Chains A and B, each alone.
Chain A
Amino acid sequence: MNILEVENLSVHFGGVKAVQNVSLTVEKGKITSIIGPNGAGKTTFFNLVSGVIPPASGRIIFDGEDITNLSQYEISHKGISRTFQNIRLFNQLNILQNVQSALDARAHYNIFEAFLGLPGKRKVDKENREKSRYYLEIVGMKALAEERPNSLPYGMQRRLELARALASNPKLLLLDEPAAGLNPAEVEEFIALIKKIQSLFDITILLIDHRLKVVHTLSDQIYVLDFGQLLAKGTSEEISRNKDVIRAYMGEEDEE
C-alpha cells in the first residue's frame, strides 16, 4: 500500500524548472530515498510535499487524501513531519521545549486556561513534558533537556531535530540530508538510530541524502532525480548498476 503518491508534480522559479513532472510513490512502512546531484530539486520536492511552496501543477495524495494545496501546518496535522537540511531549531526554547513544540501544536487547552494557569492546562503540559522526555531518550539526549540547542554539537542538533519531528507522531517522516556534516562514526550511529525508530514506531520514511552509504544501507526503494526530473527508480542494487545514474550522479569518479 502506498502512503504517498505524487503525480506529475512541477514547480518553476522564473525560468528554472526546479521540479518537472515528477511522479513517485512511497510504500507504507518502508524507507524510500531520493538521491541526485546538487541542484537536482530534492529539497524543492520536500518543500512541495510539506507545503512550504505550492506546486505549479500536479497532485500530492497522502494516505488517500489530496493534500496538494494545504498549508504547512495543515499538512503537519495530517501526519507528515520533516527535518531540515540546514538545521532549524528554536534557539530560545530549551531542548525539551523544542521537542514539546510539536506536542504543543496538538494540545487542546484554550487561551483562557492558559491565562489563568488552570489545572487542566498544567496536566496537559506535564504529560507533554513526559512524552518529550521519551522522545529525547530515543535519540539519547534525555540528560540535556534543560540546555539550549545552539550549545549542542552539530550531530546532536540533527538528532534533536529528528526527536522533534518524531514528537508530532507522523505517519510519514521526511528527512532532508540527515547525515550531512556528520563524521563516519556519527553516520553509523545515525543509521542505527533510523533502524531503531523504524522498529519502535509505525512509520514510513522518505529521505534525501548525498551519502551513498546511508542510502544503500537503509533504503528499500531509491529514486534518482537529476535537473528536476526523475531519472531512475529501483532497489539499491539496481540503481548502482544503472548507467544513466552513474553518468549523472557519480560521474567519472569512484564511489566515495
Chain B
Amino acid sequence: MDYYYNVLTTVAINMIAILSMYLLIGLTGIFSMGQASFMCVGAYTAGMLATKTALPFGVVIIISIAAGLLSALFVGIPVIKLRRDYIALVTLGFGEAVVALLNNMSNITGGANGINNIPRKVNLWIALGFLVVVVFIILNFKNSRFGRYCIAIKNDELSAAAMGINVARIKLLSFVIAGGITALAGCLMAYNTTYIEPMAYGSAKSIDWICYVFVGGVNSLSGTLVAGAVFNILPEALRVVSIYRILVQGVIVLLTINFLPQGLFGEAEIWTIFQNLFKKKKRKTISSKER
C-alpha cells in the first residue's frame, strides 16, 4: 500500500510541473526545452535550505518559488523577443547548463552525488493539495484577460499587438509564472524523495513534458492532466517490462500525433464535454415535448 501511496505522490508532483508546460505550450505557444531545469532550481533551493538551515517547510517553499520566478525572469528577459524556434534552442542550452553547473559545483551542491538526507515532509495529501491549488490558479489564469492574451499571441502575434497587447511582456509573464510553478514542483519533489541529483532534470524530462501536453491536447488543461497522469503511472504499471517503457511512450505519442493531431482532448475540457452532453440531453427532451 505504501508503495502505491509513494507513486501517487510523485505523480501528483510531476503533474504540477507538467501543468507549467501546459501554460507555456498550450496557452502561449512557447517551447521551453529546458523547463526541467527550473524544477532543478526549486529542488536544489529546497534541498540546500532544508539540510543547511532550520527554516520551516512553508518558508522554504516560498523561497523556492521565488528562486524559480527569478531564474525564469533572468532567462526570459533576453530570450523572449526571439523567434519561437530560437527560444527552444536557448532554453535547451540553459537547461543543460544548469545541470552541468550543479554537477560540477560539488562543494556546494554535492556534484553528481546530489543532496541527501532532506527531511521527508511531503505526503500524498500535501502534494494533491498543491496540485489542486495550481490547477485552480491556471484555470483562472486561462479564463482571464491574461489567458486570452496568451492564446491570441499563440494564434497571431502581429494581430495581437495590433489589438494593443504588449506581446513581449505577456510572453515573459507566462514564462515567469511557469518557472515559479515548476520550481514549486521541484521543491515538493525534494521534500518527497529526500534525495536529489542533477541528472534527473535534463532536457529529456522537458521533452517528455512537451510530449504529454501534445498527447493530452495542446489547448486542454484537463487533457494535459489526463496525459500527465497516464504517462506517469504507466512506467510503474509496466515495471516488469521497464526497458520497453520509452518504446510504449513513443508509440503512443506517434499514434496520437498521426491520428489526432489536436491531441486526445483537442481544445475541449472534461467539464465542458459533460456540460455539452447535458445540454444535448436537455435539447432532446425539449424537442420531444414539442412533438
Q: Which residues of A contact B (CB under 8 A)?
A: 50-52, 71-73, 76-77, 81-82, 84, 88-93, 97, 100-102, 104-107, 109, 111, 113-117, 121, 125, 164, 168
Contacts and interface: CB of A to CB of B under 8 A. Distances in A.
A156 to B, nearest CB: 17
B141 interface: yes
B238 interface: no
B140 A164 contact: no
A39 to B, nearest CB: 20
A238 B44 CA distance: 75
B159 A116 contact: no
Interface of B: 137, 140-141, 143-149, 151-152, 154-156, 158-167, 173, 219, 267
**A-B CB proximity, top 9 nearest:** A114-B144, A76-B164, A105-B164, A104-B145, A88-B159, A72-B161, A90-B155, A117-B140, A90-B152
A126 B140 CA distance: 14
B267 A92 contact: yes
B163 A102 contact: yes
Given A52-B161, A71-B161, A115-B141, 15 more contacts: A50-B162, A72-B162, A73-B161, A73-B164, A76-B161, A77-B164, A81-B162, A90-B152, A101-B149, A101-B160, A101-B165, A102-B164, A105-B149, A114-B144, A164-B163
A114 B149 CA distance: 12
Contacts of A51: 161
Contacts, number: 97
A90 B160 contact: yes
A117 B144 CA distance: 8
Contact of A107 (B140, B141, B145, B154): B145
A88 B148 contact: no
22 contacts: A73-B162, A73-B163, A73-B164, A73-B165, A73-B166, A81-B163, A84-B158, A84-B159, A84-B162, A89-B156, A90-B156, A101-B152, A102-B163, A104-B165, A105-B145, A105-B163, A109-B145, A114-B140, A115-B141, A117-B140, A117-B143, A121-B144
A141 B159 CA distance: 21
Contacts of B156: 88-90
A115 B154 CA distance: 20
